[in-house]
Amino acid sequence: MKIPSMPSAVRASQPRPVPARPRARAHSGPRRAASTRAPGWLPASVLACGPILGAVLGKAVGGYHGPVFAVLTVAAAAVATASASKNGRWWVIPALPPLAWLVTAIAELLWHDPPYPDAKAKAIGLVHATTHVFPVIIAALVAMALVCVIPVVAAKTREHRGAGGRRA
């Protein structure tokens, strides 16, 4: 049986067959669920609350710029970096130093015993705040860098072992 030819206008109005979509590649590693992503407000709130809580609790324990402040600031920096997206780390990491310094400066000016009497003494207090917070900022930046680097190194190690097997 012979099929009659269609006029070109009728043929153009016919739907074209759509090629099948290529299949997605199977993932060799564990899949991450979409619900495991941290909310967008979490890095900012952790980054801000860590030094503030550290200063307040440090004041209660005895020193607003002591070890309680240092531990909570470094831990908050690491958690904020881990919970931020890769693009979000571009603001989380640079935001820590001025934020930690601001909290320390305010705590120094408000809670110093005896209070600073004049502007010159307050300027000296800001120098003291800067010297107290500088090592904490360095430790927090190191913790943030480790949070960024460790997953990359672990992935490269898994990739290397998966490609070549175990090496003795």
Predicted model pTM: 0.70
> Residue ranges of the domains in the chain?
39-164
Residues 6+ apart with CB under 8 A from 128: 108
- The counts of H helices and E strands in the chain are 5, 0
**Spatial CA neighbour of 139 closest among 42, 65, 71:** 71
Backbone phi, psi, residue 48, to 5°:
-80, -40
- In order along its 168 residues, the chain shows pLDDT tens digits of 566 666 665 666 677 777 677 666 555 555 544 446 677 788 989 999 999 999 999 999 988 888 999 999 999 999 999 999 888 888 999 999 999 999 999 999 999 888 999 999 999 999 999 999 999 999 999 999 999 998 888 888 888 887 665 555
Q: Cβ atoms within 10 A of the Cβ of 126, count?
A: 15
